[in-house]
Structure 1
Amino acid sequence: MTRVLLIEDDRDLAETLLQLMEFENMVPDYASNGAAGLNLAQTNRYDVLVLDIGLPKMDGLSLCKQLRQEGCQTPILFLTARGSIDDKLEGFASGGDDYLAKPFDNRELLARIMVLSGRRSSQSPVIKIDDLELDNSAHKVVRGDHTIKLTPASFTILEVLMRASPNVVSREDLESALWGDDAPNSNTLKAHIYYLRKSLEQAPGVKLLHTIAGKGWVLKPE
């Protein structure tokens, strides 16, 4: 399923869009201001972020810039009442991927979300963080000069963590990536995390996999 974070201060519009996303089998989260939206984007994993530009507490452009500076690569779609070329260029310059001026056709919004979600899934198969490199096409993990052998489950966990880095990934997100809606008990995931941590630590280098109490796990240099 496509996970979407909607950050929109117009409650009526937000309610309509959330219902629309759920009807299309998307999994939406919602924030009514930029500060709350930033916190959600930093702590959860999403396939697409949909931001209004004129948000209270933190505007959408500043929010986008901060996420990009932190290394977030999640596709961002701006919603705004301002639709001039200069406004669009400003949105793209801040790190946005797409721009939809209000009022818009709901079908177009859904289509653009799906395009952006597909773009994320078709990202480069090679991901690198510090001295750790994952090649999805070759199903290979290398750290420095060492090849790391992983089980399929641990490989999936590592890829999710690396693509989300430096954001924290929740237990629910990892279980969904591994098992969909049929997750076993939480001890199974903990066992895979333990195996992955030990495998990464076989090669010399800084600690990369960190547990964030009450939130999940993050992969980034100390």
Structure 2
Amino acid sequence: MTSSSPLHILVIEDNPDLAANVCDFLEAKGHAVDVAGDGLTGLHLAVTQNYDAIVLDIVLPGMDGLTLCRKFREEAMRTTPVLMLTARDALDDRVAGLECGADDYVLKPFALRELEARLKALVRRASSAVTPSVLRVGDLEYDPALIRVRRGTRTITLPPIPLKLLETLMRAAPRVVRREELERAVWGDAPPDSDALRAHLHVVRAAIDGAGEPPLIHTLRGVGYRMMAPDAL
């Protein structure tokens, strides 16, 4: 799919004015848009139709966006990119959305042009070919061809953006990767707000280093991040 290809997008948003504005803008850009005003209807459409991307609000009647996203990923086993909308600016809320399976988020209020650009970027990443070589750091293994991450006997599931950050760190290991380099690897020349990288890295750390194993991801404050096996320290 090219950057100019029209997308089929599901917008799950209970604010009718905001939903109408998003729908009108995206349709004017040539995209096909379906709208659901509550979580139950949104989940039904998400699992019964084939969308290129989903725009999902967190606060919804019937079923909140976090629960919807978790069910969509874990029960329906769907991999459609999900862009979460939230008025909440707390880091914990953003991390919760990413841990439930959202691929990215935007904070309200947002520019409609940015929303479309984020959706295109998510779809482009989801459809792009991956490099098939298996990456290893210590007991952590990532097979891009199978999109499979394992640490020891654990199989780890990550959304696309944390997965891209993990791949970038593993390919660079044990070199230090500067913050700007990580942002460029994921978002190109248009990085989002300053907390986005931190939120996604929190998801990576919780998945990779959160089960009691020696940490593999290390922060060099004011410099960047490094992935290194414990026996290499």
TM-score (norm 2): 0.52
Q: Runs in 1 of length 4+ with deviation above 3 angstroms?
A: 123-126
Match of 1:116 in 2: 122
Q: CA deviation at 1:120?
A: 2.0
**Alignment of 1:23 onto 2:28:** yes
Give the 3 Å change call, closer, same or farther, for CA 123–4 of structure 1 in structure 2: farther
Map 1:73-84 onto structure 2 (within 5 A).
73-84=79-90
Instruction: Report SS of the residue matched to 2:41.
Output: helix
Give the number of the structure with larger relative contact order, counting CA–CA contacts within 8 Å between residues 6 or more apart: 1
Correspondence for 1:33 among 38, 44, 48: 38
Map 1:79-118 onto structure 2 (within 5 A).
79-118=85-124
Unaligned stretches of 5+ residues in structure 2: 1-5, 133-144, 146-233
Tell me which amino acid in the other structure corresponds to 1:50.
V
Give the 3 Å change call, closer, same or farther, for CA 43–124 of structure 1 in structure 2: farther
8 A contact 1:47–1:120 mirrored in 2: no
Tell me which amino acid in the other structure corresponds to 1:40.
L
Instruction: Report SS of the residue matched to 2:89.
Output: coil
Tell me which amino acid in the other structure corresponds to 1:11.
P
Correspondence for 1:50 among 49, 55, 58: 55
Instruction: Report SS of the residue matched to 1:72.
Output: coil
Instruction: Report SS of the residue matched to 1:6.
Output: strand
Q: CA deviation at 1:125?
A: 9.5
Tell me which amino acid in the other structure corresponds to 2:29.
E
* Counterpart-to-counterpart distance in 2, 1:23 and 1:16: 11
8 A contact 1:82–1:101 mirrored in 2: yes
Instruction: Report SS of the residue matched to 1:9.
Output: coil
Tell me which amino acid in the other structure corresponds to 2:97.
G
* Counterpart-to-counterpart distance in 2, 1:60 and 1:20: 22
* Counterpart-to-counterpart distance in 1, 2:49 and 2:29: 21
Q: CA deviation at 1:107?
A: 1.3
Give the 3 Å change call, closer, same or farther, for CA 125–2 of structure 1 in structure 2: farther
* Counterpart-to-counterpart distance in 1, 2:27 and 2:114: 16
Unaligned stretches of 5+ residues in structure 1: 127-134, 136-222
8 A contact 1:78–1:91 mirrored in 2: yes
Tell me which amino acid in the other structure corresponds to 2:63.
M
8 A contact 1:100–1:109 mirrored in 2: yes
- Aligned pairs, how many? 127
TM-score (norm 1): 0.55
Cα RMSD for the two superposed structures: 1.7
